């Protein structure tokens, strides 16, 4: 077998300089140090790194126990362009101060996780709900298929949310450079009040035939701020604070003159409903370019944390391309082609 690996760039986290690195692999022919999560977890100490290799087998929801050590757990990532590639399926969460500060990267989470202490998820794929209760918790560059529940002081950036985001009672949440698609309600207040949430450089898309709502729930006061955001035609309840936003339709709840309404989004983004959110280059004149607050571009690629098209890459190399012929060549070789890359 001939295997060609291209663009293999190993970038280790700074924590690796002093931390021990443990490897977890439950494939049929494992090459890691450990084959079960509990064995790797029990062997790890605060500050250690556990690499979880991609596998067709689920490593389990962290053996149904929370992480109570401060660890970095790194999986193989998830390539949205190649959803059939193997991922590292495990669902860790933190419910005690002993696990605060843990970082989970490149993990494919298949079970609900409810974190009551500070934690960071980055470059992860969530198939079920994720809850972040503690201030300082972050959700970075993740793909969320269901719903995100956020407490006070939580920051969400560079994520794609197919469900809704629900702030907790009295929460002060910031959300930047995120894409909201799929669910009928993008922001669900859930009957909670005293909310103060900020949405910067986000996209609120309506990619199906449903009547999409910018937020649901009728409690008050609800204090939502939208700056440099792009919105397809969706229903907007209440006159929240909109500044330098682009809206495809027209809403009486958008009143600030810095906003633009009745805009043809085909002139703004390459293909919003096809998932290509890049701004159309000038010419012709794109109303989003340089038109935001402080001269920033409006949309997910503007602002302080532009959307990362390679969000799924982690320090553990992930396969970004794989092809295999159905027959061997004249020399009896099966010429498999693999492309792998690590780091952003």
Distance CA 46, CA 13 (A): 15
Whether the predicted pLDDT of 64 surpasses 80: no
Structure confidence at residue 218 as a pLDDT band (50, 70, 90): confident
pLDDT given for residue 17 in this prediction: 53
Residues in contact with 170: Cβ distance below 8 Å, sequence separation at least 6, in sequence order: 152, 192, 193, 194, 195
Residues in contact with 104: Cβ distance below 8 Å, sequence separation at least 6, in sequence order: 72, 73, 92, 119, 120, 121, 122, 124
Q: What 3-state DSSP class applies to 174?
A: strand
pTM for this entry: 0.90
Q: What 3-state DSSP class applies to 203?
A: strand
pLDDT given for residue 342 in this prediction: 85
DSSP state of 335: -
Q: Which of 169, 155, 125 is nearest to 143 (CA)?
A: 125
User: Within 13 Å and on the Cβ side, how many CA atoms surround 228?
Assistant: 26
Distance CA 128, CA 238 (A): 30
Distance CA 4, CA 321 (A): 11
pLDDT in tens, 169-205: 999 999 999 999 977 899 998 888 888 999 999 999 9
Q: Cβ distance 214 to 204 under 8 Å? A: yes
Q: What 3-state DSSP class applies to 152?
A: coil
Structure confidence at residue 1 as a pLDDT band (50, 70, 90): very low
User: What share of the chain in percent tops pLDDT 70?
Assistant: 94
* Residue 215: C-alpha distances to residues 67, 165, 272, 273, 280 (Å): 33, 9, 20, 20, 28
Mean pLDDT of 55-71: 89
Mean pLDDT of 71-84: 91
Calculate the CA 273 to chain-centre distance.
19
Average per-residue pLDDT for the chain: 89
Distance CA 230, CA 292 (A): 11
Q: In this predicted structure, which of 9-18, 104-113, 128-137, 326-335 has the lowest mean pLDDT?
A: 9-18
Distance CA 218, CA 204 (A): 20
Mean pLDDT of 129-136: 97
DSSP state of 55: B
Residues in contact with 49: Cβ distance below 8 Å, sequence separation at least 6, in sequence order: 13, 15, 16, 19, 20, 21, 22, 71, 72, 73, 74
Distance CA 162, CA 182 (A): 5
Q: Cβ distance 272 to 248 under 8 Å? A: no
Q: What is the CA radius of gyration of the chain?
A: 22
Distance CA 271, CA 293 (A): 24
Q: Which of 295, 238, 233 is nearest to 263 (CA)?
A: 233
Residue 93 vs residue 6, higher pLDDT: 93
pLDDT in tens, 254-307: 999 999 999 999 999 999 888 899 999 987 789 999 999 999 999 999 999 999
User: What share of the chain in percent tops pLDDT 90?
Assistant: 66
Mean pLDDT of 146-163: 96
pLDDT given for residue 328 in this prediction: 83
């Amino acid at each position: 077998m001939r295997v060609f690996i291209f663009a293999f760039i190993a970038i280790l986290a700074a924590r690796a300089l002093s931390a021990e690195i443990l490897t977890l692999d439950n494939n049929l022919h494992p090459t890691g140090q450990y084959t079960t999560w509990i064995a790797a977890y029990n062997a790890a100490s605060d500050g250690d790194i556990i690499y979880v290799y991609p596998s067709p087998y689920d490593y389990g929801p962290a053996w149904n126990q929370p992480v109570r050590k401060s660890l970095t757990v790194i999986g193989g990532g998830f390539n949205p362009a190649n959803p059939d590639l193997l991922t590292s399926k495990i669902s860790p969460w933190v419910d005690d101060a002993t696990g605060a500060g843990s970082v989970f990267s490149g993990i494919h989470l298949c079970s609900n996780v409810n974190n009551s202490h500070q934690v960071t998820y980055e470059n992860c794929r969530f198939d079920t709900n994720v809850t972040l209760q503690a201030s300082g918790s972050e959700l970075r560059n993740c793909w969320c298929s269901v719903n995100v529940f956020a407490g006070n002081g939580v920051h969400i950036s560079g994520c794609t949310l197919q469900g809704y985001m629900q702030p907790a009672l009295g929460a002060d949440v910031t959300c930047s450079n995120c894409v909201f698609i799929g669910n009928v309600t993008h922001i669900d207040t859930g009957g909670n009040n005293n909310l103060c949430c900020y949405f910067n450089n986000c996209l609120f898309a309506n990619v199906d035939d449903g009547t999409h709502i910018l937020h649901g729930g009728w409690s008050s006061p609800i204090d939502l701020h939208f700056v440099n955001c792009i919105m397809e035609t969706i229903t907007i309840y209440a006159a929240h604070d909109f500044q330098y936003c682009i809206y495809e339709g027209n809403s009486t709840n958008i009143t600030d003159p810095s906003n633009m309404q009745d805009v043809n989004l085909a002139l703004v983004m390459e293909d919003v409903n096809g998932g290509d959110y890049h701004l159309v280059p000038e010419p012709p004149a794109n109303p989003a370019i340089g038109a935001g607050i402080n001269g920033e571009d409006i949309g997910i690629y503007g602002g302080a944390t532009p959307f990362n098209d390679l969000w799924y890459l982690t320090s553990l190399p992930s396969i970004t391309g794989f092809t295999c012929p159905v027959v061997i060549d004249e020399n009896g070789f099966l010429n498999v082609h693999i492309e792998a890359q690590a780091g952003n």
